Amino acid sequence: MFSAADTTFMAQAIRLAELGRYTTSPNPNVGAVLVHNGVVVGSGYHRQAGGPHAEVSALREAGIAAKGATCYVTLEPCSHYGRTPPCAEALIAAGVARVVVAMQDPNPQVAGRGVAMLRSAGIQVDVGLLEAEARALNPGFLSRMERKRPYVQLKLAASLDGRTALANGDSKWLTADAARSDVQHYRAQSCAILSTATTVLADNARLNLRPEQLQHSVTALQSGELRQPKRVILDRNGTLDHKLALFNDGGEVLLCVSKVENSRPLPNIARQIHCPLDSKAQFDLVALLEHLALRENVNTLWVEAGATLAGTLLRLNLVDELIVYLAPKLLGNTAQPLAVLPEFTALAQVPELRWTDMRMVGPDIRLTATVNHTATGVTG
């Protein structure tokens, strides 16, 4: 069904889609390439919600050369009127002869209808080329659509012996500048950051995006395209003073409370969101993640918190990926742990990971791992 040339052009569409990773959410990253007689006549990617879709950019560039061309697109063309007219209609109108789609759109508003619309117009549609690679473009969007929760990335920083701070709390600076700058790149790609009042209070943390710490290739994005992620703060007891740096800088602050108090004055930047309590009178994090996906359009959630929240998310199997900065230090057995977990009695019970990447980040090592959700009993 697919030729080597098909694969080459789809790979090009995937690389184009990646260019949107700082700007496209809550929409998916999508790339498209139009090819006529073996020559690329148009290409594009979806850059910002409300802006042109990838196929439309490619069609504009191709002009009349689109007639009889093949369109390679990383996600099924949309079939519905949203902020823009349906791409399937545009492809039909342009006279495209064939559409190669990497993956069907999981959005229930599309879900096969785009393909059907194209086929009923007589266009040859082939689906499934480089599907795994196309899925990897949009872990957050797919998680929100398919699992009704964000893709959760847990950021950790520890010594080689897995300690985050000395017994007295000293952790400045466990990792070096390069690791902190690297974190900024993750924040810049995240829809929201999850943390706790305890963490905010400990460092008067802002948990915001500091563009001056980003690499030039990112800051070269046009003004307004980089967005401040929302800060989602678990604040059970409403302890956060409005003078904290958190409220003076950065994106919106969503204060998770078990009971919304409309009468309570809040900084302009902040609002309360309701999070139910579980049977142990703790925040129901499963419910919170569903709320963030369905109500706040959070594709990717970046977690920066202490060992307790980290451990709870891991125990509930809510973590999809760990990003760990390992400092070349040993803090010893009295120092603070990486994750508070229940006591296990057999190695078969412990959370299992799979290493996916390792690299130097300045003097520190960054390890990434995915969580093997089938290993433990609970499913997120």
| Residue 332 is a binding residue for its own copies (CB under 8 A) | yes
Of these, 174, 179, 207, 298, which contacts its own copies (CB under 8 A)?
A: 174
| Residue 306 is a binding residue for its own copies (CB under 8 A) | no
Of these, 49, 111, 316, 341, which contacts its own copies (CB under 8 A)?
A: 341
| Residue 246 is a binding residue for its own copies (CB under 8 A) | no
| Residue 178 is a binding residue for its own copies (CB under 8 A) | no
- Is the separation of the CB atoms in 118 and 91 below 8 Å? yes
Contacts of 161 (CB under 8 A, 6+ apart): 330, 331, 332, 333, 335
| Residue carrying structure tokens 């196309």 | 134
Pairing of strands 253-257, 98-101: unpaired
Stretch that binds its own copies, among 69-77, 192-200, 264-272, 329-337 (CB under 8 A): 329-337
CB 161 to its own copies: min, Å: 4
| 173 labeled binding residue | yes
- Is the separation of the CB atoms in 152 and 293 below 8 Å? no
Stretch that binds its own copies, among 50-58, 80-88, 102-110, 306-314 (CB under 8 A): 306-314
| Residue 112 is a binding residue for its own copies (CB under 8 A) | no
CB 277 to its own copies: min, Å: 24
| Residue 202 is a binding residue for its own copies (CB under 8 A) | no
Tokens of 293: 């996906």
Contacts of 309 (CB under 8 A, 6+ apart): 194, 195, 196, 234, 303
| Residue 221 is a binding residue for its own copies (CB under 8 A) | no
Q: Phi and psi dihedrals of 126, rounded to 5?
A: -120, 125
Specify the residue, 294 or 350, whose C-beta has the smaller distance to its own copies: 350
- Is the separation of the CB atoms in 380 and 286 below 8 Å? yes
| Residue carrying structure tokens 């099924």 | 76
Assign 3-class secondary structure to 146-164.
Answer: HHCCCEEEEEEEEECCCEC
- Is the separation of the CB atoms in 151 and 25 below 8 Å? no
CB 112 to its own copies: min, Å: 37
Tokens of 76: 């099924």
Chain Cα centroid distance, residue 68: 36
Chain Cα centroid distance, residue 59: 28
Tokens of 338: 């990486």
| 187 labeled binding residue | yes
| Residue 162 is a binding residue for its own copies (CB under 8 A) | yes
Specify the residue, 9 or 325, whose C-beta has the smaller distance to its own copies: 325
Which ranges of 63-211 does DSSP label H, i.e. alpha helix? Answer: 87-94, 113-120, 131-136, 139-147, 177-189, 197-203
Specify the residue, 177 or 241, whose C-beta has the smaller distance to its own copies: 177
Strand partners, 196: 234
| Residue 363 is a binding residue for its own copies (CB under 8 A) | yes
Q: Pick the closest to residue 95 from 112, 71, 114, 75 (CA basis).
A: 71
- Is the separation of the CB atoms in 267 and 240 below 8 Å? no
CB 377 to its own copies: min, Å: 15
| Residue 307 is a binding residue for its own copies (CB under 8 A) | yes
| Residue 355 is a binding residue for its own copies (CB under 8 A) | yes
Specify the residue, 292 or 361, whose C-beta has the smaller distance to its own copies: 361
CB 266 to its own copies: min, Å: 35
| 290: annotated active-site residue | no
CB 368 to its own copies: min, Å: 11
Which residue ranges make up the annotated binding site? 53, 78, 87, 157, 171, 173, 187, 199, 203, 207, 210, 304
List residues binding its own copies (CB under 8 A). 158-163, 166-168, 170-174, 307, 311, 314, 322, 324, 326, 328-335, 337-347, 350-355, 358, 360, 363-365, 367, 369
- Catalytic sites, residue numbers: 55
